[in-house]
Chain A
Amino acid sequence: MTFEELKPFIVPGLPHYLALSGQVFAIGILIALAKRNAIAVLMGVELMLNATNLAFLAFARFVPNAADTPALAGHVFVVFILTVAAAEAAVALAMAVLVYRRRETVDLDRLNLLRW
């Protein structure tokens, strides 16, 4: 096989970026599901948001935009996701601290007040 034949597989295109985004998102899911600590779960959520950003940017780069939207609509989306992620991190961490103050733990398995 020559370089030219291998090129579409090697040169990163839209599928490469989407697959990478999917992988990072999956790792985010794994962390969010499998961790006990509330802060670790939050880290997983942040990773998932980041993977979403990557998918948006990849689409903005590779896919032609609709006629009435600006070329950088994907970028604008990412700006909003970054904003929301920052706000969410601040509030969620404040809640983690608050939960620790009330219950003396941030272990999600032991926050079972609503269990019956």
Chain B
Amino acid sequence: MKKELKVSAINNGTVIDHIPASNLYKVITILNLDKISNAMTYGSNLESKKLGSKAIIKISDKFFEDEEINKIALVAPQAKLNIIKDYLVVEKKVVEVPDKIVGIAKCVNPKCITNFEEVTTKFTVINKETVDLKCHYCEKITDQNHLVIK
């Protein structure tokens, strides 16, 4: 039996699969997908054995640099990328939590300068497995449970 695609295939571009359904919009924000004009389809609340409920994004004619795509590891650590050329998957990629996070996350410390003035947040990832972020400014730790995407 032919497996039916819930989100239609693309000719050229990138498919981001295995996004936790609840974090779809965060991924869109982090990658600035709401600000580009490429054709894009996405599906959410799709069945997934791994995640229970997943989301998928297909973006035509868009190819990401590793540095850019790794930013989504904060909210979609199990995300898988398929690079499509002529309807064929030419490359598969997984995301990796980067060493530094710039301008995506909010510092959990309400007394941090980044929550008072226009300052781009900067964090050092001190634990990649648990995703603990150390603020470059106030030096406090923001853990995954308190992670808020700007």
Asked if A and B are interacting partners, one says: no
**Hey, which bits of chain B sit against chain A, CB under 8 A?**
none
